Structure 1
Amino acid sequence: MTRVLTLNLQHGRPGAGAALDPATAPLAGADIRDAGAAREVLAALADQLRALTPDVIALQEVDLGQARSGRLDQAAELARHLGWAHHRFAAAWAGPVAGLRRRPRRSALLSPADDLLGGLRESAGLPPAGFGNALLSRLSVSSWHVRRLGRGPALVTHDDGAAWDPRAYRVHTSTARVLLAAVLKDRPAGEDSRAAGPAGPAGSRPEPCLAVGSTHLATRSDVATTQLVDAWAALTSLPGHHLLAGDLNLRADALARLGTARALGDGAT
């Protein structure tokens, strides 16, 4: 059985419960703009994640190179603390949180060339910066996949005021969203893969591979619904069984009516 955990990281900010645990209380008020403090917080989080014994961790609201979180590669930092070799970050957008957000040329943001303004950041001595989703896996990954889910159309609303007054209107836009997926190999990393013939020992066959996706959908339910359908279609185009995890910003009843996939478990999505 593969154990999958999903978590909205909230860019590594210590949660309210940190003050309640003696082990993490000293970090409750940590200023994670300092790289050292940010690393301590992620190390403590890795200990908590390890205690849950997951095989795969799907993360949302993950920072890369952001000043507010010590300019760390948060996905890589957590994977290092867990001792996991397989991890990937996918940016929904590139650039600083407070500044010009833009579509990345490549979602991994592995080099300045992946960002339209990456060369300027490099000349200023700054690493690539972005915000998005991540996947960490204790199991071997055979392939990684990214699907851009867009941001949906703008919504114009009218407040109190004359119809002819431009100040009476508001334009609401959504942040760009992305799906990151990993196709896991059919055996855990390090497990003896020797088999007695094509069917394996005692006639058994290896379990089919699993495609796991991590996403964070728009806060507007109409946009989130469209993104969910797109994300599920992209995920199910991959081989094996399929599991979509993430912060869906949709009520459970809305998911049930949509009928896109079978929900696992109960609770807020």
Structure 2
Amino acid sequence: MTKLFWGIMTGIALLATSCDKSAAPDPAPADQPADKTDTLASLKVMSYNIHHCNPPSKPDYIDINAIVGVVKAQKPDLLALQEVDVNTSRSGALNQAQEIANKLHMRYFFGKAIDYQGGAYGVAILSKYPLAETTVHRLPVKAGTEGEPRVMATAKVTLPDGTTMRFGSTHLDAQSDPANRQLQVRAISDIAAGESLPFIIAGDFNATPDSDVINALDSQFKRTCQVCAPTIPASNPSKAIDFIAYRHPANKFDVAGHQVVSEPYASDHRPVVAVIKIEK
């Protein structure tokens, strides 16, 4: 796409990209193990659209323990969640981000996309390591599309050896027209271009690898899969729309492993897990 096209699209956006700074993320549970001081050789990263912890086979049933069990089996260092409910009536007025983090003994930050049923709905970041500079980046929506507001939540993560990186969780527009997703991924790419820290992003992009949306993502990030296994629907997946991607100013990241977890019950998406090697 030309620069002129993107200028026009951005100019007619209903919601310009903005960000909300959070004073601090919620702390780790009291029994969170002390941080190590050794140097990490790799990071295990997981992305999971959790469908507000509602198994598709059980309408109106919330099963947080099913989501926790799936995550616990993978033991990620960093976890990006999408479709997270906080204090909504449909999910039992429970802070799902906090509850999942407590059960996993991880720190967390919730990024609200919209108000919903008396509470909030959005994305979350969970981490074994300290979080700071937590931010909700509000992504643009094209005027007249009635697109639901979308966000990218980011946090600075401090690794055991004291080095820092940025981690993000996002969930792009789901409409059949890709116009909003194109605006949103361009906004994410612009944020990444101005970032000096190593940056890992994970989420539900609602776009397949052959789309212009993922091509735009690839302009700033490297995905942990190039031939990507499908992630939806969970019962019999046919499309890959959930991805983990990274960028490092000194090219110190590389992929040591990537998989889509075979999990058909807990959500309508299958989770994605990648091991990102940190070169020294």
Provide TM-score, normalisation by structure 2. 0.60
1:262 is aligned to: 222
Distance in structure 1 (CA, Å) of the matches to 2:110 and 2:79:
12
Write the deviation string for residues 119-176 of structure 1: whole angstroms up to 9, x where unpaired. xxxxxxxxx6111111111111132121100332214xxxxxxxxxxxxxxxxx1100
Write the deviation string for residues 32-56 of structure 1: whole angstroms up to 9, x where unpaired. 3xxxxx4xx2123212211111011
Distance in structure 1 (CA, Å) of the matches to 2:116 and 2:214:
36
Letter paired with 2:210: D
Q: How do 1:163-182 residues align onto structure 2 when only pairs under 5 Å count?
A: 173-182=146-155
SS at match of 2:222: coil
**What's the % identity of the aligned pairs?**
26
User: Would you say 1:10 and 2:55 are equivalent positions?
Assistant: no
Gaps in structure 2 of 5+ consecutive residues: 1-41, 230-239, 242-280
Distance in structure 2 (CA, Å) of the matches to 1:51 and 1:257:
32
Question: Alpha carbons of 1:31 and 1:175: their partners in 2 closer, same or farther (altered >3 Å)?
Answer: closer
Q: How do 1:1-269 residues align onto structure 2 when only pairs under 5 Å count?
A: 1-16=42-57, 29=58, 31-32=60-61, 38=62, 41-84=63-106, 86-96=107-117, 129-155=119-145, 173-187=146-160, 208-219=163-174, 220-254=177-211, 255=213, 257-258=215-216, 259-260=218-219, 261-265=221-225, 266-267=228-229, 268-269=240-241
Distance in structure 2 (CA, Å) of the matches to 1:142 and 1:186:
12
Distance in structure 2 (CA, Å) of the matches to 1:51 and 1:256:
29
Letter paired with 1:62: V
> Residue 129 of structure 2 contacts residue 159 of structure 2 at CA under 8 Å; is this kept in 1?
no
Report the structure, 1 or 2, having the larger helix content. 1
Question: Alpha carbons of 1:65 and 1:10: their partners in 2 closer, same or farther (altered >3 Å)?
Answer: same
Gaps in structure 1 of 5+ consecutive residues: 17-28, 33-37, 97-127, 156-172, 188-192, 194-205
> Residue 147 of structure 1 contacts residue 234 of structure 1 at CA under 8 Å; is this kept in 2?
no
Greater than 6 Å deviation, 4+ residue runs: none
| Structure number with bigger Rg | 1
Number of positions where the alignment pairs a residue of Structure 1 with one of Structure 2: 183
Distance in structure 1 (CA, Å) of the matches to 2:170 and 2:64:
21
SS at match of 2:210: helix
Shift of 1:244: 1.4
Bigger relative contact order, structure 1 or 2, given CA contacts below 8 A and separation 6+?
2
Write the deviation string for residues 217-255 of structure 1: whole angstroms up to 9, x where unpaired. 112312101101112322453442111111101120124
Report the structure, 1 or 2, having the larger strand content. 2
> Residue 140 of structure 2 contacts residue 183 of structure 2 at CA under 8 Å; is this kept in 1?
no
